[in-house]
Amino acid sequence: MHRFLIVREKAGKISQHAHPAFLAASQQRKTRESAKEQMHEVIAMHIRGFPEDGLPVPKSHSSATFIAVRAE
């Protein structure tokens, strides 16, 4: 079992979802649930492909930090 952090950034009615190790797997979806389902499928496909290409499955070392930026 592999676990990966999915980052969600809401922008208006659309949310962008991504994982740093799978940037090509980023998704834009209207709901969190649809993004979660799609990201699960896409990352699972990538994970299956790594061994076929002779590559190891990346380990998740993700963390998230919020920053505050004052707009002036």
List the chain pLDDT tens, one digit each, 72 residues: 778 877 777 777 777 777 766 666 666 767 778 777 888 888 888 888 888 999 888 887 777 788 899 988
Q: How far apart are CA 42 and CA 3, in angstroms?
A: 14
Residue for token digits 């090509």? Answer: 24
Alpha carbon distance 49, 25 (integer Å)? 13
Does a structural domain hold residue 12?
yes
Which neighbouring-strand residues pair with 61?
none
In a domain, 57, yes or no: no
Query: CB within 8 A of 45, min separation 6: which ones?
Result: none
Domain count, the chain: 1
Q: What residues make up the domain containing 24? A: 7-52
Q: Considering the domain boundaries, does residue 62 fall inside one?
A: no
